[in-house]
Structure 1
Amino acid sequence: MAQPARPPYVPADTLTPQRDMSHAHFRPGDQVVILKGVAEGELWGDAMTVVAPSWHTPTDEDGWRLRNPNGGEQTFITAHPRYLVHLSRRCPDCLIHLRALENHLTPKVDSTDTVIDCGWYSTTALNQLVHTADARDGR
């Protein structure tokens, strides 16, 4: 996949912050994706493996420690369950969320070959993934 570009207009992901996903929905070993943008008219993101329960400091809620199988600077991160979508199984809740995001966001982004990172997430100094709508005090 090409290096992600930043679009001149970044569509807001207003659905994920409102998603009510319990910690118990995911289990160690689950394959998940964190959706980050649009490529060729489809959503794309980072595929990871759920490793262990972990406190998610940016939201002060139960989160999951995730492992990026490709390694890199952030091989392990902590994320809130509402940021995750199952890859390893056909999960109705995750499929409904995925479809809602596709319907809401992809029409707002040019569907060229460009890989677009919409900048919905950042990573804190503690390797905690945080959605822009969940960021506190600029973190």
Structure 2
Amino acid sequence: MNPPSRTPPPTPAFAPTHDPLTPARDITHQHFQAGDQVVVLKGVAGGELWGDAMRVVAPSWHTPTDEDGWRLRDATGGAQTYVTAHPRYLVHLSRRCPDCLIYLRAVEDHLLAKYPESDTLVDCGWYTTTALGQLVHIADAQSGR
């Protein structure tokens, strides 16, 4: 199994896709540590998963879920260098832990069958960033938290 691609192809396509996996993922705040390299999976590109690679910086309260979250630094910078995210959104890049590998494989099985290999980047539309810099999964945003 290859790690998710960090640099998607240049042709984006938005394809809202139901995500039954992330909202039900039971991962604790302690699973990640400051300094860990992580990815937030967002879709498919060229027959592989892709997402935003980030580094875990510090604990931070995740207001949309009212749970412990993590402050993340986007290694590529940009308009939003830091965001706060819930641990269930994250997958380790810096190490291959069993929990993240199981989740990664389940997302692969779920998405790769839906989107055949092509040069198009498919953004599944699972995440948005709030005005407070909180990365929020659509299931958490819809729950009204």
What one-letter code is carried by the residue in structure 2 that aligns with 1:128?
Answer: Q
Contact 1:40 1:115 in 2 (8 A): yes
1:58 pairs with 2:64: yes
Q: Which consecutive unaligned segments of at least 5 residues does structure 2 have? A: 1-8
Distance 2:11 2:32 in 1: 29
- TM-score w.r.t. the length of structure 2 is 0.90
Contact 2:59 2:70 in 1 (8 A): yes
- TM-score w.r.t. the length of structure 1 is 0.93
Q: Deviations over 1:104-133 (max 9, x none)?
A: 121112321101111100000001000000
Instruction: Assess, with a 3 A threshold, how the Cα gap between structure 1 residues 61 and 5 changes in structure 2: closer, same or farther.
Output: same
Contact 2:17 2:125 in 1 (8 A): no
User: How many angstroms does 1:137 deviate by?
Assistant: 7.0
Which residue matches 2:12?
Answer: 4
Which residue matches 1:22?
Answer: 28
User: May I ask how many residue pairs the two structures share in their alignment?
Assistant: 137
Which residue matches 2:122?
Answer: 116
Question: For structure 1, which segment, 102-111 or 51-60, has the greater mean C-alpha deviation from structure 2 after superposition?
Answer: 102-111
Contact 1:55 1:63 in 2 (8 A): yes
User: How many angstroms does 1:23 deviate by?
Assistant: 0.1
Q: Which consecutive unaligned segments of at least 5 residues does structure 1 have? A: none
Which residue matches 1:90?
Answer: 96
Distance 1:95 1:82 in 2: 13
State the identity %: 71
Runs of 4+ deviating beyond 4 Å = 136-139
